[in-house]
Chains A and B, each alone.
Chain A
Amino acid sequence: MAQQIRIALRNCGKLDPEKIEQYIAQSGYLALEKALFDNKPEDILKLIIDSGLRGRGGGGFPTGIKWQAAAKQKSDEKFVICNADEGDPGAFMDRAVLEGDPHSVLEAMTIAGYCIGANKGIIYIRAEYPLAIERLNVAIDQAYKMGFLGKNIMGTAFSFDISIKLGAGAFVCGEETALIKSIEGKRGEPIVKPPFPAEKGLWMKPTIVNNVETYASVCPIIVNGLEWFRGVGTEKSPGTKVFALAGKINNVGLVEVPMGSTLREVVYEIGGGIKDGKEFKAVQTGGPSGGCITKESLDTPITYENLIQIGSMMGSGGMIVLDEDDCMVNIAKFYLEFTLDESCGKCTPCRVGNTRMFELLEDITEGRGTQLTITKLETLANTIKKASLCGLGQTAPNPVLSTMKYFKHEYEEHINNKKCRAKVCRELLTFEIVADKCVGCSLCARNCPVFCIHGEPKTPFVIDQKACIKCGSCVEKCNFDAITVS
């Protein structure tokens, strides 16, 4: 039986997040103590590099290498930013960490500041997380009062401040360069890298941006050592990853599993399997930038590289489980609509390209699709991927490409047979009254908004297919199960 291993979530649900003494009793601020009193910044830097910790926000960039790049820069001012702008639909890992264990993030940010020579930390958190913000504020106050933040931390020469910056809910601000622009008070639009933030970031000063979960994993590495950390997970992806399980799964919730666990372990052993005993179809990971993992890949170990190889990505950890009742074309459309809403509009491929792609998908789900629609979708998707300015645009076509790769037959059914097997795309459905079952009560006809059901009382009724708007109200009203949907 697969087990969860909780590193980032080690204290979540175990201690009162508003009581610093409980955190300290659980080895809290021990990592900071070790860093400041026993180690030089370069020692900690080396430890983090050697630990193999990689960015938990989804990119998987080695954290230590990022810190080292900023540490090398000569500058009068440097910044440590915590990216808590969690925006993927169905993802809530960062919120849980911030609400359950805010000090672990503050401590790790302070250590990051010590490593790279920064004295200022900023937590960029979405305003939709009021409780997380409240608990962070309480924690920051406590840390200042006790001398874990502020001038001359614990009597050493090192000083570090942390403040909170509220995001207004734009998805693209989770991208680090857009996030930095937003902190500067400008529009949250990404800029071309390089220069990387580690060279020229906030106010053109060296800046590191890490995700909440990454910070939450830092302190245990310093306290327990890299051997311990590398003992969990795989060679190239050590440690654990937190996933937010959502969708058609029994145990909806947060899980933290060692890297290299298989999807089967996560979905069936930890997640409790699919709701109502339905058949597993796919898992969507990586949010609007990710893709699908199918039944065939249930036994693939979850690592950054493996997920990319099968056309998805780790992402921040949202895992939406889909079953036989989900239409893959519709899922692709859902995610594309999300990115479409969130596109900042700066570059044409993303702004216009994604709009056109969405319209093509609409054509397919509404029965106007042809083989040409698929060809156009493919060309457009690949163009957008190559020509968009930032990660948002470059990855926006991924849900479409991934579903087209693994569920081409569903696309073709929509186009050639005008059929949606999951019975989701209403325009493709046919509502019919089964004469044998219909008692002629006329209830459906009286409730039909377009009056397209006709018949004489006590004899079977008939739906006028040309006039039917496929609203489904007849199915809901019928007491005799006499209306079929196909």
Chain B
Amino acid sequence: MIQIDNLHKKFGKNQVLKGIDLTIDSGGIFAVLGPNGSGKTTLIKSILGMVIPNSGSIKLNGASVKRNWQYRNDIDYLPQIANFPGNLTVKELIRMIKDLRSDKPADDRRLIELFKLQPFLDKKLSNLSGGTKQKVNLVLTFMFDSPLVILDEPTTGLDPISHLRLKKLITEEKKKGKTILITSHIMGFVEEISDEIVFLLEGKIYFRGTIPELKTKTEQPDFEHAIASMLSSSYA
């Protein structure tokens, strides 16, 4: 599904990605992990074409993403920080995004129901709380039925009930055979839902595999400690 070869990206003097090689096959939940500033968001934004790499290639289903935009029809993306144009209402925003992908059916009603957003539909986005904005963000992401879903910190600001609903939603999407890329700092969440993890460190892939593999490699009984031991051994 996704094939990344020797990806490099520099922001000014700051070399963020230093040669990433990654192949992700169709179907399953992949967690992209790493400390702050390790290049997770840059990697995701490169796949989306929001960041333009200095060198290397990204292919989606065999086609290069460079200078291309139609491929984004097959991606649903949840940005890290939910920032929306403030003088639109929730309803208008949903209508606008649907209009931009006019050839796709959208499942917004069910999601609005799921996250209990009906009372907010006519409110302006600038008046919503952070958690409510994140719910709107989730509706916008999941309302299209795309084969690739990219979630950048999906749990930010969500209350426990919405958190549970989100987990259910993600597993449902996985059952449909979708590929889901997630970044998160909440290890419990990652351990529960992901099939495989990709651990980034200083712009390179440090580990790639399943969670049991990681535990045997680091000789740690639980996931959180396994991650921590990887970090401390690399800094040692």
B and A form one assembly: no
Binding site for A on B (CB under 8 A): none
Query: Using a CB–CB distance below 8 Å, which chain A residues touch chain B?
Result: none
